[in-house]
Amino acid sequence: MAKRKTVWEDCDILVVGGGMAGTGAAYEARYWGRDMKIICAEKANIDRSGAVAQGLYAINCYMGMQWDENQPEDHVRYARNDLMGLVREDLAFDMARHVDSAVHKFEEWGLPIMRNEESGRYQREGKWQIMIHGESYKPIVAEAARNSADKIYNRIMITHLLMDEGRENRVGGAVGFNCRTGDYHVFRAKAVIVGAGGASHIFKPRSVGEGMGRTWYAPWSSGSAYALPIEVGAKMTQMENRIVLTRFKDGYGPVGAYFLHLKTYTQNTYGEEYESKWYEHTKAMVGEYIDHTPTPTCLRNHAFIEEVKAGRGPIHMVTMEAFQDPHLEEIGWENFLGMTVGQAVVWASQNIDPKYINPELTTSEPYVMGSHATCSGAWVSGPEDISPPEYFWGYNRMLTVDGLFGAGDTVGGTAHKFSSGSFTEGRIAAKAAVKYILDMGNEKIQVSNKQCEDLKEIIYKPLENYTVGRNEITRVLFLQATYYLFKDSNVLKKLWMNIVAV
């Protein structure tokens, strides 16, 4: 193996990933753990990393308890209905009761949240969503994390967790590589909070060729949120769940603001409303859920897919009515410019002005994730005060591996967290991690050099395979191999596949 430098770092808390969950964790950890060494490792640059890199035009999870708009139990009920029963109520309740305080802080830090002129309250997009000018949402929360962490490592791709050799089933840190220098990084930590991303590109994207990266979820979400805990034996939940979203065709422009705020609606190619047609069919499949209000999103998507299969596609979003109002038209466009610029690019290139043309919708390819309207992820402990005994084992948001905590996409069973809820969950996990470390007392983590060296070999193995094997393969394979080997994003994917195969 070519000689690669190893960089060692010992710390108390390691936060893996600097997206919404990771920044929340790094931020909160400092308040409770004053003398602790808090490190965050992010594979990109925390100013623009994670799913909020592009900005957001809405915060999709805000209770509004101060105006008695919603209470946490309402959110539990809503999320449980939307996921057809499959949620961890304790985790959902816990996130929902804290989320408002995070949003209030965002506003204090400078995030422009729109206000309803009449009521003076935050402008609602729907029952749970508030509207923001969130182009700089991520840089703002990144600043909060920077103010708290001892060090933030940008461009470090964490690939494996280390395990403590002194005690069974306890985490000991994590390792990864620097995307710029190629150096090997070892972080020995008493507690690790995984705030990494969900998985895009598990399934072939709708678009091919150049369009492959124009996925709905970020193309750099490589599934570390699951790969890391799975490899050390953490229990997972609902990993068979896939999220498929209705989006504007080719650009994945979000439909939330259009449905909820602009009051646009869908119709098939003959201008007919189609969802009610599939009522009996869906009822036979899922029973009473089709009668619930609001209709679970997956069932509405099912009607969409069935209608297209029946030959009455494409499905259009009727925008021509709403867009006659200049204010609503502005919101419709700014919604994209704030979080999905690619949709504006597609419409500009195809001369689609939704004021005069009803744009096409489509369903996305499937994703595995845990923070949007979906629930895949790790099985974690809930909070002490509300979790039933079987849902509580010592520390809030701790996985079934001691000292390993999760937030955001990592945590399963807690749908509808979105950006604010992921940040909040990071905060919850950070406080619990501090408590965990304090309870450890003077106990030390034991991580041998051998464990680190073994993982180093695994990480750099593909490069070695290439060097050793390049003369043994045909030209076509050679080109494919070089393609995969020299794309940072794909090295990990390849590694991951190797591990799965083993």
Partner 1 sequence: MPTFVYMTRCDGCGHCVDICPSDIMHIDKTIRRAVNIEPNMCWECYSCVKACPQNAIDVRGYADFAPLGHSVRVLREEEKGTISWKIKFRDGREKNFLSPITTKPWGENIPKLGDLEVPDQSALDSQLLCFEPDALNVDTGLPVISKDKLKEGVYY
Near partner 1 in 172-191, by CB under 8 A: 179
Work out which of 4, 69, 71, 300 binds partner 1, going by CB under 8 A: 71
How far apart, in whole angstroms, are the C-alpha atoms of residue 388 and residue 406? 19
Nearer to partner 1, 172 or 354 (CB): 354
Interface characters, 290-309, with partner 1 (x: CB under 8 A): --x-----------------
434 contacts partner 1 (rule: CB under 8 A): yes
Nearer to partner 1, 306 or 360 (CB): 360
Q: What share of the chain is helix, strand, coil (3-state, %, to 5)?
A: 45, 15, 40
How far apart are CB 135 and partner 1 at their closest, in Å? Answer: 4
Are 371 and 410 spatial neighbours (Cβ–Cβ below 8 Å)? no
47 contacts partner 1 (rule: CB under 8 A): yes
- Chain CA centroid to CA 219, Å: 12
How far apart, in whole angstroms, are the C-alpha atoms of residue 359 and residue 251? 11
Stretch that binds partner 1, among 223-231, 276-284, 370-378, 432-440 (CB under 8 A): 432-440
DSSP designation for 309: I
How far apart are CB 222 and partner 1 at their closest, in Å? Answer: 11
Terminal Cα distance for the chain, rounded: 21
How far apart are CB 225 and partner 1 at their closest, in Å? Answer: 16
User: Of 155, 494, 215, whose CA–CA distance to 368 is shortest?
Assistant: 215
Are 80 and 72 spatial neighbours (Cβ–Cβ below 8 Å)? no
How far apart, in whole angstroms, are the C-alpha atoms of residue 473 and residue 66? 65
Of residues 362 through 381, those in contact with partner 1 by CB under 8 A are none
How far apart, in whole angstroms, are the C-alpha atoms of residue 448 and residue 318? 62
Of residues 19 through 38, those in contact with partner 1 by CB under 8 A are 27-28, 30-32, 34
Stretch that binds partner 1, among 183-191, 209-217, 264-272, 469-477 (CB under 8 A): 209-217
Stretch that binds partner 1, among 183-191, 347-355, 468-476, 491-499 (CB under 8 A): 347-355
Work out which of 90, 125, 307, 365 binds partner 1, going by CB under 8 A: 90
334 contacts partner 1 (rule: CB under 8 A): yes
**Angle (nearest 5°) at CA 499 between 493 and 502:** 145
Of residues 243 through 272, those in contact with partner 1 by CB under 8 A are 250
How far apart are CB 292 and partner 1 at their closest, in Å? Answer: 6
49 contacts partner 1 (rule: CB under 8 A): yes
How far apart are CB 429 and partner 1 at their closest, in Å? Answer: 11
Nearer to partner 1, 44 or 234 (CB): 44
The four Cα atoms 239, 54, 297, 131 give a dihedral, to 10 degrees, of 140
- All residues at 6 or more sequence positions from 408 whose CB lies less than 8 Å from its CB, including other chains: 17, 19, 20, 21, 22, 195, 196, 197, 225, 370, 371, 417, 422, 425, 426
Work out which of 20, 58, 171, 218 binds partner 1, going by CB under 8 A: 218
9 contacts partner 1 (rule: CB under 8 A): no
How far apart, in whole angstroms, are the C-alpha atoms of residue 297 and residue 421? 19
286 contacts partner 1 (rule: CB under 8 A): no
Work out which of 14, 39, 111, 368 binds partner 1, going by CB under 8 A: 111
# residues near partner 1 by CB under 8 A:
96
Nearer to partner 1, 126 or 139 (CB): 139
495 contacts partner 1 (rule: CB under 8 A): no
Angle of helix 475-485 relative to helix 488-501, nearest 10 degrees, comes to 110
Work out which of 119, 151, 212, 457 binds partner 1, going by CB under 8 A: 212
Nearer to partner 1, 126 or 219 (CB): 219
Stretch that binds partner 1, among 206-214, 262-270, 449-457, 494-502 (CB under 8 A): 206-214
428 contacts partner 1 (rule: CB under 8 A): yes
89 contacts partner 1 (rule: CB under 8 A): yes
Are 390 and 384 spatial neighbours (Cβ–Cβ below 8 Å)? no
CA distances from 250 to 55, 301, 304 (A): 19, 17, 17
Stretch that binds partner 1, among 254-262, 295-303, 402-410, 431-439 (CB under 8 A): 431-439
Nearer to partner 1, 354 or 370 (CB): 354
80 contacts partner 1 (rule: CB under 8 A): yes
Are 23 and 94 spatial neighbours (Cβ–Cβ below 8 Å)? no
Are 253 and 337 spatial neighbours (Cβ–Cβ below 8 Å)? no
Pairing of strands 6-16, 316-318: unpaired
